[in-house]
Amino acid sequence: MKIAVVGCGAVGSFYGAKLARAGEEVHFLLRSDYDVVHRKGVSIHSPDGDFNVRPKAAKKPDEIGPADLLMIGLKTTANDQFPSLIPPLVGSHTAVLTLQNGLGNEEALARIVPPEQILGGLCFVCLNRTAPGVIDHIDHGAVVIGEFGRWPEPRTHDIATMFRNAGIPCHVSDNLAQAHWEKLTWNIPFNGLGVASAAGKEGMADPDSASLRGPCLTTDKLLADAEWELIVRELIREVIAGGRALGFKMKDELEETQVGRTRTMGAYKPSTLIDFENGKPLELISLFFEPLRLARAAGISVPRLTALCEVLKRLDAPKIPHSGFASPNRCP
């Protein structure tokens, strides 16, 4: 299978490298990392075993052409690049699989790709890109995939089988929208509080006064402090309530599942925390503002999520980009 990977950060590089190691024809679309990957390939450091692969490297989508599978690992802050990056890689047979965080990515793709060609994937993995072409795999690695707006097609199961053959645990979901909300029960508390913790508990208690007060907290420190852990759990419960109000079968057990799996990660820095520390735009709209808007529209009171969004907006105000989902200048 010819596979193109757009967005070769931690997620795109890790899964693309595993597929390449399994013998698939994998093409990486690269910018800043092109020279390194072209010369040295991609190196994965993992408790499951280190390895290096040499995917085909390209600087422009036209150099790759239509693929059988297009995997998108871009930050959602770069979704405005879809019209220039995606069409040259998509033919009538191409399955387009976005592995991006949050809500609204499939809808953004559907403006330029036929909806029936779109799939979504949720990655449950701890990764960091530590240098060009170098990925540290810390824990987990499973992927959940599903069709955008419809039941899984035979091709969905074929892709899942290919992932599993490459050593990637993969499950097919009958309801991609629900799977997105289930993933938000981790992303919202841990990505969100990883950054918001820099404003302290005082900032979460009084978002109007939120400002940078101290360092960001890794996942282990959030769970080692009883008050932060309570906020984590309250956010998870609010996301569960929001998902239920939208008609999804969200289980109470998600709270313990997400807290339990996070305890095994150690001192992990989620991607939003790393972006914040590096002065990059945060994925606020897809990960936080859009879930808040939908929960409110469903009539659910979500005070913790509301406060979190306000704190994140204040800490990141100069960098909020326009991604087409909501106003770039204010928290919903």
Strand partners, 140: 125
Both tokens assigned to 51: 């390895």
How far apart are alpha carbons 195 and 209 in whole angstroms?
16
How far apart are alpha carbons 199 and 56 in whole angstroms?
43
Do the beta carbons of residue 121 and residue 98 sit within 8 Å?
Answer: yes
Question: What would the DSSP string read from start to end of 286-317?
Answer: IIIIHHHHHHHHTT---HHHHHHHHHHHHHHG
Annotated active-site residue 183? The verdict is yes
Buried b or exposed e, range 287-316, using 16+ CB within 10 angstroms:
bbbbbbbbbbeeebebebbbbbbbbbbbbb
Instruction: Considering the candidates 18, 183, 269, 313, report the single residue annotated as catalytic.
Output: 183
How far apart are alpha carbons 48 and 121 in whole angstroms?
22
Catalytic residues: 183
